[in-house]
Amino acid sequence: MREAAILHPVFALAAWTAVVLLLVPVARVRAGLRREIGVDDFRYGESAAVPPRVSLANRNLMNLLEVPVLFYVVALLLYVTAGATATAVALAWTYVGLRVVHSAIHLTYNRVLHRLTAFAASNVVLAALWVLAGRHVAAAG
């Protein structure tokens, strides 16, 4: 397997994060044009006056910048240590898919239990990636 294959899901998740990042100003500008919010509502982050549907894209973006940092680290670790097996790559793609599903749920109908299921499953996959990486590093030891 080509070691660079582990980087493909990294780029995919970064691209998805960029898409969600673009949704933040779109939601804010729309709400501003409707006079639902004003510039001062963002002076110290998002004020309580910001409607939840406007805050949603920003909250999802924060989700994509929190736990996924561990995904980026483990993927790079597997790449630089030549530990990107087919299993690791498959798990990486599964992680990305679950994060996209989590975002899609969050940004559309937002049923908490569905979102939680995708989030929890992605964390299990991430933990499995770290176990694989740990085993690989220990074996190279």
Say which CATH number the domain at 62 has: 1.20.120.550
Helices (H) and strands (E) in the chain, counts: 5, 0
CA distance 17 to 21: 6
A 10 A CB-CB count for 49 gives 11
Please tell me the total count of domains within the chain: 1
Give the length of the chain. Answer: 141
Could you report the per-residue pLDDT of 1-40, keeping only the tens digit for each? 588 999 999 999 999 999 999 999 999 889 888 988 888 8
What is the Cα–Cα distance from 103 to 21, expressed in whole angstroms?
A: 12
- Rounded Cα–Cα distance for residues 107 and 114 (Å): 12
Q: What is the pLDDT of residue 69?
A: 98
pLDDT digits (tens, 9 = 90+) for 36-93: 888 888 877 777 888 888 899 999 999 999 999 999 999 999 999 999 999 999 999 9
The pTM (predicted TM-score) of the whole model is: 0.93
Domain with 23 in it: 3-140
